[in-house]
Chain A
């Protein structure tokens, strides 16, 4: 197995600098980090990758069973750390990748120096004592939304993915050319993401952890951030002025500043 091609691993920054690993969430790929990589790469070795089933990962590496739960993605993260012989990394996980990082750090604590969780949620569905923000019916509706974009996306994506030489206008920067995803694989990732419940894994986290939430996030409401701070021993919670679910895109400076403060404490 070659993790570099399997997960389309890319690097930025000086080779001998402290390692920051950036993990994208459901819906896109490592392009999600493009607005903060230059600032981080000044004095960090930045390791980027695509989860299997997303972006430019190797489609042949995908398996419906392995990637039906977050533990499959977490194993891949540990594989990358081991295969590339990375020193203990500061793992920055966005959205569902935050929980993938928690699982990976619990599995192989010696590989992780710290966790930075951006707009995380350990469980999206409400129950009697927990507010995740969604009901099971809501999640079914999302899967329906994915399905209704299935035809459009597969039709738009196909010429790009196949690198159609007869149509040069379908270049790299074409509309929706980021975040290209096989719709069938995306559906499996969506289920793994939104039906996951990792609340029991939070207390086992043994590395310094920063939780970053946005002031208005339709996917991870503020209660979830508070819950996480309560459950992860010794964790810090930062609420950004940024709104939405992707502060690394909508407010890159603020996101980098919060990350830098956390990274500075660690050095």
Chain B
């Protein structure tokens, strides 16, 4: 048998023991707690209240939380408080109290046990710090993401015309779907005047995404416009772009693009003559005034920027009054459809276009925007659409129509 006494256990228990009157005046205290505090017994017993042993902050916490709960419940446990030792040191403790009642149920005194909580407090402080840090970094991450999205949106806007210029006797419309708010896409388009009511237009797709793709997109867009001024033949323009991209990027990661480029002749009563060249891009769609839809033969050309000295072929068409030319990127025909998670094919698109025809540029782009929206999460790539409709020409001698 171990020789052990209750008195010795009380005095030298590995925790502080304290009994107080109901007003908090200390009636009994054990050696362990006196040792922690550095006080003599006669400095404490009947002279001090429990709350006098606490830091000022702990005292307020004791009066506003601990004492009311103890009175209401008859017990309270596991509350973190700080003792103030005689030499001024702070001692973190975990405190538990119960109210001892007499035979009549009336409260007699309060028994309190205090555990040394230095290790636990350090651990909790670390947890708390980690929690605050996690909250702060989550907030910072959210702000960073908002900043990034704003930057991406701004960069994307800079790669597209702010508003499409509208040639006389034409209806034009465009739509750009950003697959991700976090990353700039590589699709681009433009419509611009060449003088004498002749207009250049293009729509293309740089392979890849992100800032590097955006730089290529910007280069492609400005090269196309400059090359058109230099030699307004679509095949020559794409040849120029090919040379520029090839020279710029052959050393680096190869960057190439697909593009449809065309030039519209001046408006006549029969519409506008149209020369078009394709560089590895899905074929343009023509919705006729008669209500039919067909792919133009612009799909044959090579990818632009991949090989030196490529030759491109120019095709000639007429955009008659009521006809609508639709250019689009492969985001549209590679979307996964809801039904069977198959891809939306070029046949599907032709059927859709046939059901639309005849349609003005505005109506066609609206219908295609709706289609893209319905793809929902099935649409994981950027998608650009631009449509050009010839209208009956203005009366001879009249002012050119300017639409805004």
Q: Do A and B bind each other?
A: yes
Residues of A participating in the B interface, judged by any CB pair closer than 8 Å: 25-28, 31-32, 34, 95, 134-135, 138-152, 156, 173, 175-176, 178-179, 194, 216-219, 243-246, 249-250
- In the bound complex, what is the Cα–Cα distance between A249 and B61 (angstroms)? 16
Give chain B interface residues in 17-57, CB to chain A under 8 Å.
22-24, 49, 51, 55-57
B301: min CB distance to chain A, Å: 61
Q: Mark B106-127, 1 if CB is under 8 A from A, else 0.
A: 0000000000000001001101
Chain B residues within an 8 Å CB radius of A219:
60, 63-64
A181 to chain B, nearest CB (A): 9
Let me know if A148 and B121 touch, CB within 8 A: yes
Nearest A residue (CB) for B67 = A244
Q: Are B73 and A216 in contact (CB under 8 A)?
A: no
The A-contacting residues of B in range 68-95, CB under 8 angstroms, are 68-69, 71-73, 75-82, 92
Give min CB distance, A123 to chain B, whole Å: 15
Q: Is the CB of A134 within 8 A of B67?
A: no
**A238 to B55 Cα, complex, angstroms:** 29
- B63/A176 in contact, CB under 8 A: no
Given A25-B64, A243-B23, A148 contacting B71 (CB threshold 8 A): no
Which chain A positions have C-beta within 8 A of B76?
Answer: 175-176
Q: Can you list 7 contacts pairing A with B, beta carbon distance less than 8 Å?
A: A143-B57, A149-B80, A216-B49, A218-B51, A219-B64, A244-B24, A246-B68
Please determine whether B80 and A152 come into contact, CB atoms closer than 8 angstroms. Answer: yes
Q: Which residues of B contact A142 (CB under 8 A)?
A: 56-57, 60-61
Query: Are B56's CB and A138's CB within 8 A?
Result: yes
Since A28-B69, A134-B56, A152-B79 are in contact, a sample of 12 more A-B pairs with Cβ atoms closer than 8 Å, ordered by chain A residue number, is A27-B64, A27-B65, A139-B57, A142-B56, A148-B82, A148-B128, A149-B61, A151-B131, A176-B76, A178-B68, A179-B65, A245-B67
Complex alpha-carbon distance, A244 and B57, angstroms = 16
Residue with the highest number of chain A CB atoms closer than 10 Å, among B24, B65, B75: B65
Partner pick for B75 among A140, A152, A175, CB 8 A cutoff: A175
**Is B57 touching A141 in the complex (CB atoms < 8 A)?**
yes
A124 CB → nearest B CB, Å? 9
Determine the chain B residues whose CB is within 8 A of the CB of A140 once the complex forms.
57
Q: How far is the CB of A227 from chain B (nearest CB, A)?
A: 19
**Is B59 in the interface zone, CB < 8 Å from A?**
yes
A190 to chain B, nearest CB (A): 9
A134: chain B residues within 8 A (beta carbon): 56, 60
* Interface residue from A139, A143, A218, A249 paired with B72 (Cβ < 8 Å): A249
A244 to B64, Cβ gap below 8 A? Answer: no
* Contact for B59 among A26, A28, A218, CB less than 8 A: A218
From the candidates A28, A144, A176, name the one contacting B57 in the complex (CB within 8 A): A144
**Is there an interface contact between A175 and B68, defined as CB atoms closer than 8 Å?**
no
Cα A126 to Cα B73 with chains together (Å): 34
State the CA gap A220–B22 with chains docked (Å).
19
B58 at the interface (CB under 8 A from A): yes
- Return the contact of A149 from the options B22, B55, B77, B79 (Cβ within 8 A): B79
Given A26-B64, A244-B63, do A179 and B121 touch, yes or no (CB 8 Å)?
A: no
CA distance A181 to B305 in the complex (A): 66
User: CB distance B80 to A148 under 8 Å?
Assistant: yes
What residues of chain B lie closer than 8 Å to A194, measured between beta carbons?
Answer: 60
Write the residues of chain B forming the contact surface with A, with a CB cutoff of 8 angstroms. Answer: 22-24, 49, 51, 55-65, 67-69, 71-73, 75-82, 92, 121, 124-125, 127-128, 131
The residue among A32, A148, A175, A217 with the most chain B CB atoms within 10 A of its own CB is A148
CB-CB under 8 A from B23, the residues of chain A are: 216, 243-244, 250
Residues of B within 8 A of A150 (CB): 128
Residues of B within 8 A of A34 (CB): 72
User: Shortest CB–CB separation between residue A48 and chain B, in angstroms?
Assistant: 15
Kindly state the separation between the CA atoms of A245 and B65 in the bound complex, as whole angstroms: 11
Chain B contacts of A151 at CB under 8 A?
124, 127-128, 131
| Residue pair A179, B69 in contact (C-beta under 8 Å) | yes
CB pair B63–A147 under 8 Å, yes or no, is no
A252 smallest CB distance to B (angstroms): 10
By a CB distance below 8 angstroms, the chain B residues around A250 are 22-23, 67, 71
How far does the Cβ of A148 sit from chain B's closest Cβ, in whole Å?
Answer: 4
Closest Cβ–Cβ distance, residue B101 to chain A (whole Å): 15
Q: Give Cα A152–Cα B55 distance, bound, in whole angstroms.
A: 19
Minimum C-beta distance from A143 to chain B (A):
7
Known: A151-B124, A151-B128. A145 touches B61 (CB 8 A): yes
Query: Which residues of chain A come closer than 8 Å to B72, judged between CB atoms?
Result: 31, 34, 178, 249
State whether A145 and B57 are in contact (beta carbons under 8 Å apart), knowing that A27-B65, A28-B65 are contacts in the complex.
yes
Q: A67–B124 Cα gap in the complex (Å)?
A: 28
Please, which residues of chain B bring their CB within 8 A of the CB of A156?
78
Is there contact, CB below 8 Å, between B56 and A148? no
When distances are taken between beta carbons in the complex, the residues of chain A under 8 Å from B68 are 27-28, 32, 178-179, 246, 249
Residue ID in chain A nearest B94 by CB atoms:
A152
Chain A residues near B69 (CB-CB < 8 A): 28, 176, 178-179
CB distance from B334 to the nearest CB of A (A): 45
Given A31-B72, A147-B128, A148-B80, also A246-B63 (CB < 8 A) = yes
Q: Which residues of B contact A249 (CB under 8 A)?
A: 67-68, 71-72
Closest to A249 in B: B71
Shortest CB–CB separation between residue B50 and chain A, in angstroms? 11
Give the shortest distance, in Å, between A180 (CB) and chain B (any CB): 11
